[in-house]
Structure 1
Amino acid sequence: MKVQQPVQELLSEIAEAAEFREMVRELKAGERPVCASGLTPAAKALYAVLLRRTMEEKPLLYVTRSNREAEQAMDQLGTWARLLGEPGPIFLPAHDIRPYQGLSPHADICEKRALALGKLAARQAPMVVVPVLAAATRMKAPEFYRALARQIRRGEEIALEELLDHLQSVGYTRQDPVEMVGQYSLRGGILDIFSPEARRPVRLELFGDEVESIREFDPETQRSVSHLENATLLPLTEFPLQKDILEELPLRVAESQNNVYTPGEPFAGWEFLVTLHSPLTHTLLHLCEGAALFLDEPQELRQEVERLWSLLEPEFEQARKEGRPAVSPQQLYLGWEEMAMQWAAHPALRAEEMALALPPGSAHFPFGTRPAPRFHGNVPLCLSEVQKLLQQQYRILILTTGPGETDRLAELFAESAIPFQRATRQHDGALGWQEQRSGEVAIPACWIAQGAAPTGVMIPPQRILILGNEDLFDSPPMRTAVSPSKISTFLSDFRDLQPGDYLVHVEHGIGCYRGLKEIAHEGVPLEFMEIEYLEGARLYVPLARLDLVQKYRGLEGAKPTLDRMGGNSWARTKARVRKSMQEMAGELLKLYAAREIANGHAFAGENPWQQEFEAAFAYEETPDQLTTIEEVRRDMEKPVPMDRLVCGDVGYGKTEVAMRAAFRAACHNKQVAVLAPTTVLALQHYETFRKRFAAFPIRIDLLSRFRTPAQQKATLRSLEAGQVDIVIGTHRLLSKDVIFHDLGLLIVDEEQRFGVRHKERLKEIKKSVDVLSLSATPIPRTLHMGLVGLRNMSLIETPPRDRLAIQTVVAPFSEHIIQTAIEQELERGGQVYFVHNRVESLDHMAAVICKLAPQARIAQAHGQMHERQLEKVMLQFVRQETNVLVATTIIENGLDIPLVNTIIINRAERMGLAELYQLRGRVGRSDRRAYAYLLVPEEAGISGIARQRLSALKEFSELGSGFRVAALDMELRGAGNLLGREQHGQVDAVGFELYCQMLEQTIHQ
């Protein structure tokens, strides 16, 4: 039977308590300060949502100490709001950098602020989560932020040029076709726009100046989906790019930055100089008239504002001393006293865990909530405690990380005869509740629902217990899947196509792309791709036949000659290339034929243990992850040995794919070897596997120098005897003395990092066992093999929830930038990589950094160090004993250190694109905003190829770009021949992509 909203009634009951009602009465009266103590972090979020419900439609500002605490509160507030049927909160972040650091705010923060300020100005924000430094920031008038958004209605007339200028000014970029948020394109009378927070982009069809129709369209297929009457175009920045403002800003900024910036164009940090043009006259409370305030630990809020001012004033003086343009702090921020005076005019609840500094004469309400009990994965203890509390008339709400954990708990409760209700999603999106009990058991007083609340709360006076995600299983907070990246899984990415680019038509050869053209066909207007051939001949290809066309990619920027339409030259060229590759294909096939005829082990289907192992995954799988897991499962069930390459950005879930494959092999009494390129990475994998497999009787061991000789010998004996199920190690696993009892699966992490000798040994092993290779950015050779079908390849492009794109800054070498970047990261408790790829001058660079950031704990790492010393340095960094690592590119090798969210790469122009991408992937592993600074000499000293690489890296800040980076690196470095370089001319003749297609056809023949 369905029960309507019992949890909503349960949570609402908290607000019915006499002390809660009295607290609300005091807040509304506004006669004295109101304080609530005894509130745990989880209770604060719950009580804030309940307070918002009782304050008669007043907006609520939930003020936290920092961006990070605000983001954590967002999850919990969102969960309680959903369970109570309330609108969710919005987030107004503080700027991540200070005004005098010579840098611009992170693009993600600019977008979030623009959206939040627009909603506040439009009175569409019932609850706002705001760090205190965002509340201290001076602002424009509400009408300024309202004007950043545009409403377009069908039938109205618009000034097209003015609208295009507006889109560019609020952060949109012109890109054809439109596939991602923040892009627009104009083709004739058709304007496509993808606005933030929109499900899909919209297509405006114009007749003159009139908007004839508005349609949503699918960004993948570019086909219309539905008709709309109006569309809202939201901004991506709170700082509109207006040329007149930029031209008025002092030009000496450009002079102080080695003339990198063009007058009238945006430059790093210009956003903080806008007040030189027009002052900031308003504050947050002007945008939230009549708001109530929920102040999370007011003493900490005060300390944070005072800390900001202690930094601003000396930094402002230093900027003036150096001749840099700067606006005084008073023009940009409120001081604490001014904020406190403004807040005193609003209902404000001071929420504290401990009432240590109550204002004199305040109304104090001690609520006495307690942290929920922690069970650390001890399921029997949890079930016993739940039964005991139910007997004491407690009502219990359990929040899980995802469907798998919900199912698992439901089974355990059913087996223990504990009556419960579980949340179900109704057709209209609302929550329903499915009851489960047996016999004459009373109505359930226990509910299980999915929600993002790491910790729960116990409220003894009302006999309510809420258990959070980590109270049960020590699991991290829920991460749900988000929309997959729009990057295509094939090399021809027409999103990058510009007029003037070369194309290859399968039948007509190499031509020049001239753009899209609308042509009437049988009375229906259709879009065609216009391609120009030799002597001006034109070919029009309908968009439905793009399979006939590829973007031309030669080697190292080779420029092709145009073919003649209708001539024989193209047919002769293809024949010559095909003959050449027939010889090469034979050699290629020898490498893989042995595997195809070899007999491997066909693993059986799933068993209950496998299902339980997968259900215990702490996150919700992304769509790409699920696809890859299924592809690996099918491969393992075949009698032919698996050889699959899994490509995915750092932290996108490749390790979970590998662990599920390892679990399947171990359940079939087959041994698993996990090969890592470094000892420290092997140790990290060992810890990850051991924790993930803890609930199952599978023995995992480590074979590396972290083990004593005696321990290594014991591991080798156990391996040979079949007593070890999974062994993790470095190339030590490839030694002749390592004998497996029955090896069934080899997992290779970052295969490209191993040397030739180790790869030869890998080839021997691969002939008879399943092999799963993992790579964040495969080297072009590996990717080329996958593209022509010689290896099976899976792509994981969906980022985890809250994973943010990395802010990439390309700048001339500057001690000021280095100092600012390091100080900014250390201030938020993070760690920094400084990459300097010259061992001989590493000491000097470390000394420079020590002088610039004396508070930093600096370590050095490079490949010429003794391996044990290198391991010691890396382990100290992993354990946060040091916080700045000055190193060569040795850090590229895959360590997972979530606190490292700033990387500075010196002489970035000397590195390959894939190498730069891998290095940048060392940061941004958590949900913290990450920064990559690519320091280069003045542009005159950078080669054309290096400039392309740096430009590409800035372009590929979209999450999940690793596959596309490797594809472009093929073009920049030269794809060449898999076995030599004699095929270069053949690739240039037909373009890399058609070359791959022809090679694949030749191999299949």
Structure 2
Amino acid sequence: MTLREALDLFVGSETFERLLLAKDRPIQARAETGEAFVVAGLAVALDAPVLAVAPGPHEADALLEDLEAFLPGDVALLPAWEALPYEGISPAPDVAARRAAAVRRLREHRGATVLVAPALAAMQGLIPTLGTVPPLDLIAGRNLPPDRLAEQLVELGYLRVDVVEHRGEFAVRGGVLDVFPGVARRPVRLEYWGDEIESVREFAASTQLSTSRLTQVEVGPVRELIPDDGVRERAAEQARRHTDRFADLLQRVADGLHPEGMETAAPFLFDHLPSPAELLPEGSWVVLTQARRTLDRAAAAYEEAEALADALAWPAARALRDLPDAVAGHVQLQLSEFTEGLDLQLRSWGSAQGNPTEVVQRVSDLQARGYRSIVTGRGHGSLERAREVVGATPVETAEASLSNGFVFAPAKLAVATEEDLFGSRRHTRTAPRFTRRRSDSIAEELEPGDFAVHRIHGVGRYAGIVHRALAGAERDYLVLEYAQNDKLYVPSDAVGMVVKYLGGDVPRVHRMGGTDWARATAKVKRAVRDMAGELVRLYTVRMSLPGRAFGPDLPWQRELEDAFPHEETPDQLRVIDEVKQDMERPFPMDRLLCGDVGFGKTEVAVRAAFKAVMDGTQVAVLVPTTLLAEQHFMTFSERFAPYPVTVKMLSRFVHPAAQKEVIEDAALGRADVVIGTHRLLGRDVRFKDLGLLIVDEEQRFGVSHKEQLKKLRAHVDVLT
């Protein structure tokens, strides 16, 4: 039985029928767990789109993952902006692209589909043209001159750069055009023969090297507001009616420019901004998951937005509505884990969760009573582990990203996930575009009179923090003073936009709305580009040196990686893939891996070391302190324990006789991985076949040690 078949059992139950026939508005229902199961069931039963509202972005991401298990390919996420719609900050290119793709899908799809949105996104009015601009379909053999394609990309919001590194960028170099689509995992490279696209390849942004060939790629807009002649005329008309910054912003839009925060001008340019619920067809439902939290979070966000709009004397229509008003016009279902409303009889595994023995025993007991059971795992390794735990118990298995299972008595159905069996995993979500800091923390960095830098407006003078109560909401504002007596009030939740000026010279205070800051940032970008060019030249020289090309991953490599007890972050997965690619090339790798403590750098090193050992070479792990040596020795030994890999440690804490033995084992090839301090760089230490050197915290080694490391870099792969 598949998860979709389980969904059909739920839809055909009397419990679900009572839900569809309920007359209360809004409908309140209890789901102790399995909210995604209920939402997916509604979409299938109604054969229509359903809007699922979550309290915040993290909850929306989790709900999206669960829904994909039941409705693969029929779920979309409408992310919220990272700032309130009055703050003058444009959404990031990837956010704008995902929003445009989600709305376009909602406009075009009328079957069973689910649009997931955090409360803030469900409350915000949408630009009426969002989702109406079709993506560019780029395919090999298409006749589309690169200069014409560049013009179209600019119209869609893409920024032309010299080297493509981030979503929303493109570059043209002769007969090659690189572009990073807003919703793509990697950028793509179009190679031209005249005006015809000859090939389409995916490439790694970090190395700029092609990785795989594609048949086609869709490039959607990365800007929500794409002005046409009518919009520009309306902007010019509105600019004459307003003053100060609103007039300046509207005039720039009228002039055909794309200023930061231009999307906030939408209420001036359109008569009505529809909410996401207004795009739903007749007969669709709106579901509030974790209803109490969602309503509370929405009310707080609405109050804060109203206070900000009042403080700014916002002259146009409000871009944010309270949640009940934003979802009005459709049947609303409020799901809660508390005992209220219609009981959907979805029960969690309760105290058994995280105890595999107890969960398996309960599954066996339920099957003896005629229940059908499904066990899910997020990946191949997790599913194999779950099968081993379940043992001889006859259950169905499915590879699916489902967080929590449930027991549904009316249909005699039980679903257990790997989290139910082994406990919750650590989930890492996408980082916000701007780091949010507490206003009191930045106040400790800045003193009144200090120079500060705002990301959009440039250098100003910090004047302190003011506390204001507006529309019943109290809020702190950082005050920055600019030239010509301009003042900028930065809300406390947007202080990530402000940093202390750290330059040596006394800066010149910029003028708000001027071009000084743009010129200064452009100068820095040119300097960085020159530095990048020098690094490319140096790297080209290194590529000419011969090195060892490691083979592809072996089955044990996958088994080791599947046994990792945490969920890898997107950055980890990207770096692991890039390190492996470097190791498989026929020239020495020299890769620098940066990251804060606890962000998973050691796991990257573990996998690289295992790959080298599986290819028949030795690995040296160099660390600056004996404490780090012991920590890495324990980590590597634990991860490599199930495999025939010998891990040794060499430091001053190791007995001299044992040191001699380790050195001998390294020379004879009996030690696969040797972890040590600067003792590893001793003249008496030799390796039979050293293939990989891993250096932890290289900045803490002395000059003489670094000179020895330089010699090694010419011959073996190095991961720092």
| Shorter-chain TM-score tier | 0.5 to 0.7
The equivalent position to 2:262 in structure 1, one of 270, 283, 295, is 270
Is the partner of 1:134 in helix, strand or coil?
A: helix
Task: Assess, with a 3 A threshold, how the Cα gap between structure 1 residues 203 and 331 changes in structure 2: closer, same or farther.
Answer: farther
The verdict on how the C-alpha distance between 1:604 and 1:279 changes in structure 2, with shifts beyond 3 A counting, is: closer
Task: Determine which of 614, 631, 645 is the counterpart of 2:590.
Answer: 645
CA offsets 1:729-786 (integer angstroms, 9 cap, x no match): 8x677799x999999886312535533144357689x6xxxxxxxxxxxxxxxxxx6x
Do 1:451 and 1:478's aligned partners in 2 also have CA atoms closer than 8 Å? no
1:466 equivalenced with 2:415 (yes/no): yes
Q: Pick one of 85, 95, 102 that aligns with 1:99.
A: 85
C-alpha contact (below 8 Å) 1:701/1:715 kept by paired residues: no
Match of 2:402 among 450, 453, 456: 453
Q: Which residue, out of 401, 405, 409, partners 2:378?
A: 401
Amino acid in the other structure paired with 1:470: E
Which residue does the alignment assign to 1:301? 294
How far apart, CA to CA, are the structure 1 residues paired with 2:288 and 2:70? Answer: 18
Match of 2:18 in 1: 22
State the partner residue of 2:342: 364
1:235 corresponding residue in structure 2 = 221
Are the counterparts in 2 of residues 405 and 615 from structure 1 also a CA contact under 8 Å? yes
The percentage of aligned residue pairs carrying the same residue is 25
Partner Cα separation in structure 2 for residue 338 and residue 102 of structure 1:
24
The amino acid that maps onto 1:265 is L
Question: Cα distance, 1:66 vs. partner?
Answer: 0.8
Kept in 1: contact 2:175–2:193 (CA 8 A): yes
Query: 28, 34, 42: which one pairs with 2:27?
Result: 34
Shift of 1:88: 1.9
Q: What does the per-residue CA deviation read over 1:873-909, in whole Å, with 9 as the maximum and x for residues that have no partner?
A: xxxxxxxxxxxxxxxxxxxxx9xxxxxxxxxxxxxxx
CA shift at 1:395, angstroms?
Answer: 2.7
Match of residue 13, structure 1, among 2, 9, 15: 9
1:372–1:214 Cα change, 3 Å: farther
Q: How far is 1:478 from its partner? A: 8.9
- CA shift at 1:111, angstroms? 1.3
Task: Give 1:945's aligned residue.
Answer: none
Matches of 1:65 and 1:274, distance apart in 2: 25
Mapping of residues 277-356 of structure 1, within 5 Å: 277-290=269-282, 291-320=284-313, 326-327=314-315, 331-336=318-323, 338-339=325-326, 342-343=327-328, 345-355=329-339
Give me the whole-angstrom Cα distance separating, in 2, the residues matched to 1:699 and 1:131: 49
- Does the 8 Å contact 1:170/1:241 carry over to 2? no
1:756 counterpart residue number: 703
Output the amino acid matched with 2:14.
Answer: A
**TM-score, with normalisation over the residues of structure 2?**
0.61
Contact 1:673 1:743 in 2 (8 A): no
Q: In 2, Cα distance between the equivalents of 1:179 and 1:645?
A: 20
Secondary structure class of the residue paired with 2:376: strand
Give the 3-state SS of the residue equivalent to 1:145 in structure 2.
Answer: coil
For residue 145 of structure 1, what is the aligned residue in structure 2?
Answer: 130
Amino acid of the residue matched to residue 419 of structure 2? E
Q: Secondary structure at the match of 2:52?
A: strand
Contact 2:49–2:110 (CA under 8 A) maintained in structure 1: no
State the SS of the aligned residue for 1:348.
strand
Q: Which amino acid aligns with 1:73?
A: L
Separation in 2, partners of 1:734, 1:241: 63
Q: Verify the 8 A CA contact 1:648 1:654 in the aligned structure 2.
A: yes
Contact 1:699 1:725 in 2 (8 A): yes
CA pair 387-739 structure 1, distance change in 2 beyond 3 A? farther
Query: What are the Cα deviations for residues 708-748 of structure 1, in whole angstroms up to 9, with x where unaligned?
Result: xxxx958999878879998978x677799x99999988631
Alignment map for 1:856-935 (pairs within 5 Å) = none
In structure 1, C-alpha distance between the alignment counterparts of 2:529 and 2:296, rounded to whole Å: 59
Q: Which residue of 1 aligns with 2:467?
A: none
8 Å CA contact 1:625, 1:653 repeated in 2: no
Is 1:80 the counterpart of 2:70 in the alignment?
yes
Which has the higher Rg, Structure 1 or Structure 2? 1
Q: CA deviation at 1:633?
A: 9.5
Q: Is the 8 A contact 1:398 1:467 kept in 2?
A: yes
Q: Which amino acid aligns with 1:276?
A: F
With over 3 angstroms needed to count, the CA separation of the structure-2 counterparts of 1:751 and 1:37, relative to structure 1, is: same
Q: CA RMSD in A?
A: 6.3
Structure 2 Cα separation of the partners of residues 666 and 176 of structure 1: 39
Matched letter for residue 149 of structure 1: P
Matches within 5 A, 1:165-314: 167-173=153-159, 217-218=200-201, 234-241=220-227, 252-253=244-245, 265-290=257-282, 291-314=284-307
Give the match for residue 51 of structure 2.
61
- Kept in 2, the 8 Å contact 1:401–1:479? The answer is no
Query: For 1:403 and 1:693, how far apart are their aligned partners in 2?
Result: 19
**What per-residue deviation string (whole Å, max 9, x for no partner) do you get for residues 140-181 of structure 1?**
44xx23542368899x99999999766533313457999997
| Distance of 1:558 and 1:653 partners within structure 2 | 30
Counterpart secondary structure, 2:318? helix
Aligned residues: 579
**AA at the equivalent of 1:139:** L
Structure 1 match to 2:114: 127
The answer to whether the Cα contact below 8 Å between 1:457 and 1:467 also exists between their aligned partners in 2 is yes
Structure 1 residue 605: Cα displacement: 13
**Paired letter, 2:133:** L
CA distance in 1 between counterparts of 2:211 and 2:709 reads 44
Q: Closer, same or farther in 2 for the Cα pair 1:263/1:289, shift >3 Å?
A: same
CA contact (8 A) 1:454 1:470 kept: yes
1:240 is displaced (CA, Å) by 1.5
Describe the shift of the 1:268–1:90 C-alpha distance in structure 2 as closer, same or farther (beyond 3 A).
Answer: same
Are residues 288 and 368 of structure 1, via their aligned partners in 2, closer, same or farther at CA, if it must alter by over 3 Å? closer
Q: Give 1:137 deviation, angstroms.
A: 0.9
Q: Which runs of 5+ in 2 are unaligned?
A: 204-209, 430-527, 535-540, 666-670
C-alpha contact 1:703 1:715 (8 A) present in aligned 2? no
Deviation readout 1:167-206 (Å, 9 max, x if unpaired): 5333134579999975679999999988666897899999
Query: What amino acid maps onto 1:169 in structure 2?
Result: E
Q: Distance in 1 between matches of 2:615 and 2:173?
A: 58
Kept in 1: contact 2:135–2:220 (CA 8 A): yes
Deviation at 1:94, TM superposition (A): 1.3
Task: Determine the C-alpha separation between the residues in 1 that align with 2:27 and 2:71.
Answer: 23
Tell me if the contact between 1:191 and 1:203 (Cα under 8 Å) persists in the aligned partners.
yes
TM superposition score normalised by structure 1: 0.46
CA drift of 1:271 comes to: 1.9
In the alignment, residue 658 of structure 1 is paired with which amino acid?
A
Work out the CA distance in 2 between the residues paired with 1:616 and 1:224. 31
Distance in 2 between the 1:557 and 1:14 partners? Answer: 57
Cα separation, 2, equivalents of 1:63 and 1:394: 32
Distance 1:748 1:309 in 2: 50
Taking a change above 3 Å as real, the CA distance of residues 459 and 265 of structure 1, as seen in their structure-2 partners, is same
Matches within 5 A, 1:516-665: 612-617=559-564, 625=576, 628-629=579-580, 645-647=590-592, 650=595, 655-660=602-607
Matched to 2:6, the amino acid is: L
Pair 1:48-2:44 in alignment: no
Alpha-carbon offset, residue 292 of structure 1 = 0.4
> Deviation string for 1:775-808 (max 9, x for gaps)?
xxxxxxxxxx6xxx654468xxxxxxxxxxxxxx
Question: 1:716·1:739 contact (CA, 8 Å) conserved in 2?
Answer: no
Superposition deviation, residue 348 in structure 1: 1.8
Change in CA separation of 1:400 and 1:70 when aligned onto 2, cut-off 3 Å: same
